[in-house]
Amino acid sequence: MLDFFDLDAAEKPAALMLWLHGLGADGYDLEPVAEMVGLGNVRHVFPHAPVRPVTINRGMAMRAWFDVAAADLRWQEDRQGILESARQVKELVEALRGDAGLPVVLAGFSQGAVVSMAAAASGMPGLIGVAAMSGYVPQFLLPSIANLRGTRLFMAHGEQDEVVPYALGKASCDALRESGLEVDWHGYAMPHTICQQEILDMAGWLACLLDKT
Other beta carbons within 10 Å of 158? 23
Report the distance separating Cα 67 and Cα 142, nearest Å: 19
The 8-class DSSP code of residue 107 comes to E
* Burial of residue 169, with CB atoms counted within 10 A of its CB: 0-12 exposed, 13-18 middle, 19 or more buried: buried
Other beta carbons within 10 Å of 149? 10
In 32-161, the DSSP E strands lie at 42-47, 51-54, 60-63, 104-109, 127-133, 152-158
Residue 162: which residues within 8 A CB-CB, separation 6 or more?
191, 192
> Any catalytic annotation for residue 78?
no
Catalytic residue of the set 110, 116, 134, 172: 110
Report the distance separating Cα 100 and Cα 155, nearest Å: 28
Catalytic residue of the set 21, 44, 157, 192: 192
Catalytic residue of the set 6, 26, 78, 161: 161
> Any catalytic annotation for residue 192?
yes
Other beta carbons within 10 Å of 19? 27
Q: Which has the closest alpha carbon to 192: 171, 169, 210?
A: 169
> Any catalytic annotation for residue 179?
no
Q: Are 27 and 108 in contact (CB under 8 A)?
A: no
Residue numbers annotated as active site = 110, 161, 192
